[in-house]
Amino acid sequence: MTAASTPAADVQARIARLFVHPVKSCAGVELREARLMDTGFDLDRAWMVVDEAGRFVTQRELPRMALVVPRIRHTEVVLRAPGMLALHLGIDEVESPTRATVWNDEVPAWDMGGVAAQWFSDFLGRPGLRLVRFDPDTNRLASKKWTGEIDAPVEFADGFPVLVASTASLDELNGRLQAAGHAPVGMERFRPNLVLEGVEAQDEDRLAELRIACAEGEVVLRPVKPCPRCPIPNVDPATGETSPEVLDTLSTYRANPVVDGGITFGMNAVIVRGAGHTLRVGDAVAADWKF
């Protein structure tokens, strides 16, 4: 389908990029197509690194996690990191039941075993780390404060199934960074799942629903909450080093009263319709303004 074949709408856009992040807070995988599940894109945040107490760890405290790069194969996810042999995770393989905590949610999970634990502990320089897999029989829901009548299950994502951003919003940020004498940054720092092109900067904040024309039918996503930004966008994904320019620049124009003045970039979205369909780069997106 083309944009011209979508229903009349205030905004006509396209999918520019798609990302999946198999291990929470490690590097993402850019895809040409991604299958949408009830919980978001297939394998997105399906694994998570935890400490000795079972609590999640992220680039906030261990920025070197950005250097762990996954590749998705047919039956496995392969993790690579500088100076390390590849770690192979069977997509359907786990070792033993455990529990894990992500933010305020303690949920059942599956431990991935001693080899994975040692791999992460060695690379990140922190003893006692474990790698866990989300238990698909667990029903962890996004906050009903934001999702309203929709029950939106998630795996180990911070809070919502899909994160939407736009190329125009990144272009605006990079223009401001360069005007201040800083280098531009890539979209990878913001860890979105779906990136739109054909909209103006920050338009994703103002859209009621995204109606995406894919081969199997229509997918409908509803943006529900602006995404407040922690320090992770300050981490250079190529080096694992941190510098303050990105958040400092965003703070000059992206304080959002909807989330108590938090500095936002991108919109968290829930799935209204279309779980099971596959989204592809180039798919047409129609949307109306939210009032």
The enclosing domain of 52 has a CATH number of 2.40.33.20
Alpha-carbon distance 31 to 19, whole Å?
A: 6
| Banded pLDDT at 291 (limits 50, 70, 90) | confident
Alpha-carbon distance 65 to 6, whole Å?
A: 40
Q: Which residue has the tokens 């529900």?
A: 224
Query: What is the pLDDT averaged over residues 264-280?
Result: 98
Q: List, for residues 63-101, the tens digit of each pLDDT value.
A: 999 999 999 999 999 999 999 999 999 999 999 999 999
Two tokens, residue 97: 């039941």
- Which pLDDT score, from 0 to 100, does residue 7 have? 56
- Which pLDDT score, from 0 to 100, does residue 8 have? 80
| Banded pLDDT at 56 (limits 50, 70, 90) | very high
Please give the tally of structural domains in the chain.
1
Q: What's the domain range around 222?
A: 3-289
| Banded pLDDT at 59 (limits 50, 70, 90) | very high
Alpha-carbon distance 202 to 223, whole Å?
A: 12
